[in-house]
Amino acid sequence: MRRLFVAGNWKMNTTMASAQALASEVAAEVARSQPNVDVAVCPPFPYLIPVGISLANSPVMLGGQNAHYEKPGAFTGETSLEMLVDVGCRLVVIGHSERRQFFGETDELVNKKIHAAWQRGLDVIFCIGEVLQDREANRTESVLSTQLQGGLAGVEPAQLGKLVIAYEPVWAIGTGLTASPEQAEATHLFVRNWLATRFDRASADAMRIQYGGSVKADNAKELLSQPNVDGALVGGASLKSDQFLGIIRAAAELSAG
Ligand code: PGA
């Protein structure tokens, strides 16, 4: 079984005080329960350092929600991958649907960011997902294929150990709608088979594919128990420690068998 991976994407939420409190609660519970799962939190940029302090000596990983692919320089308002590394990030989320939708990120840009993140030694959570019209028109697989093809252009099988894919149906993000466990499983299987064709079967089988879209403590277990669902990328529910810890607990129970 692939090691389950639960990551919290805090988006543009929290204050410094609430961010530190949330991180401390997650770190304390993970230290106490020692779940056999990977856990990460991705706070807003201004709170990376205080949250990193709250996570000191914790296995909970710190991640960025985005970054620019260029080396540090004259890019007003941007944050470099070097800076994420410098403040203790182990990973970065790339290609989130909100970046694509509201900030015009293309598959080509996502691809540049993925390669650049690896060059700086960061792991990548690469997000893909279809909008409702695509799903209703039976275009989910072609949309995901295009995102995978573009986002992973030039990627070699040896690089896949530093990659996690997050399948996030856009219609399920922040809406309270969740893909059914069957829908999630079918789509994750499609993604894994796509990876096997593009790379090789062993690499595809080793890769983790997270599900994202209104994951909560009370639906986590049935989603995570699907054979090709290897974790969750959690938005809204990651802002409440009881919810986020409930999702981690569900993952830990499944990992314990
Ligand atoms: P949600 O967000 O859990 O609030 O639906 C998930 C995400 O956007 O990563």
User: Whose C-alpha lies nearest to ligand 1, atom 6?
Assistant: 235
- Cα–Cα distance between 51 and 61 in angstroms, integer? 10
Structure-token match 């128990």, residue found: 225
Mean per-residue pLDDT of the chain = 97
Report the residue among 65, 92, 173 best suited for mutation to probe ligand 1: largest number of ligand atoms under 8 A from its CB. 173
CB atoms within 10 A of CB 118: 16
**Domain over 5-232+247-256 is classified CATH 3.20.20.70:** yes
Residue length, the chain?
A: 257
Q: What pLDDT digit, counting tens, does each position of 159-200 carry? A: 999 999 999 999 998 888 888 999 999 999 999 999 999 999
Alpha helix ranges (H) inside 34-87: 48-54, 81-86
User: Whose C-alpha lies nearest to ligand 1, atom 1?
Assistant: 235
Does this model's pTM top 0.75? My answer is yes
Enzyme catalytic residues: 96, 168
- Cα–Cα distance between 219 and 50 in angstroms, integer? 31
Q: What pLDDT digit, counting tens, does each position of 95-138 carry? A: 999 999 999 999 999 999 999 999 999 999 999 999 999 999 99
pLDDT at 74: 98
User: Whose C-alpha lies nearest to ligand 1, atom 2?
Assistant: 235
The encoded tokens of residue 76 equal 């007003």
